Amino acid sequence: MAAFGSFNRLFNFTTNTCVKRILPTSTNKQYYLGLKLQQIEVAGYASHRQPIRYKLPWFKPKPSYQEEIPEEYEEKKEKAAADVINKINKQIATNQVGRLFAVIYLCGTQFKITENDVIAIEGHWPPQPGDQLNLEKVLLVGGKDFTLIGRPILNRELVSVNATIIQKTLSHTITHFRMRPRKQFKRINFIRIPRTMLRINSITINGDIDKKKEVEGLDRIY
């Protein structure tokens, strides 16, 4: 097969050069088309190596489920919801929420935190000791009698989680040892992962939960 292929290529080359010499360029293309067809790969063979895409990559697939949207709203339920929101607002206003906890997303991991917690973040992270941070990716905040759940995160203005970086250290020495028996292959590396300690200063809910400000992010530079 390989010999046939190489012969074919050689044959093409010779015919091509001959034809080019004899005919003008415009007719050359038409004449050559028949010869070229032999060399086109079969679709099946090509698909075996790389699957053919029928969709464009930026079109998202349809969700596999069909959602029924309930049409009628029960007054009872709505009233109950309003009651609950009122109760939560009252608790926040009178500062009876108890010790708040939150689930935050930081450096690719989720942490469940409360006030005065110290969390350790592994890996390279630019902030330096003494920096004050406002952690904004808050997935969930809970108090004594209620929980606010973000989809996926809560409003930045609603919850503020303040933290201070207290320490930057390295972890213990991790030995990364690779060896293949009877193959004279042996490598040993020592790793120390940078670790940042973070203290959570405060978790607070600012204002009513059901009110949305007209203008947001005025205090932000970026």
Partner 1 sequence: MVFLTAQLFIRSRGPDEFWRKRQIFKLAAHYIGRKRNCYSIAIKNVHRSLLKTTKGRQLKKQDMRELWETRLNGATHEHNISLKILLEGLNRCNILLNRKSLAILAIWEPRTFKCLSDIACAKAKLGVWLTFLENQSLSFSWTSWACCGVAVFPVPIAQTGS
Residues in touch with partner 1 (CB under 8 A): 64-70, 80-81, 84-85, 87-88, 101, 103, 109-112, 139-140, 142, 145-155, 158, 174-179, 188, 209-212
CB of 166 to partner 1, least distance (A): 23
Query: Residue 23 or 85: which CB sits closer to partner 1?
Result: 85
CB of 127 to partner 1, least distance (A): 22
CB of 54 to partner 1, least distance (A): 24
Q: Which residues contact 36 (CB under 8 A, 6 or more apart)?
A: 12
CB of 113 to partner 1, least distance (A): 10
Query: Residue 158 or 203: which CB sits closer to partner 1?
Result: 158
- Token pair 């204002």 is found at 207
Query: Residue 49 or 211: which CB sits closer to partner 1?
Result: 211
112: left (phi over 0), alpha (psi -120 to 50) or beta: beta
Tell me the C-alpha distance between 156 and 117, whole Å.
Answer: 21
Query: Residue 10 or 191: which CB sits closer to partner 1?
Result: 191
Output DSSP code: residue 164: E
CA distances from 161 to 102, 131, 156, 186 (A): 9, 14, 10, 48
Tell me the C-alpha distance between 128 and 167, whole Å.
Answer: 8
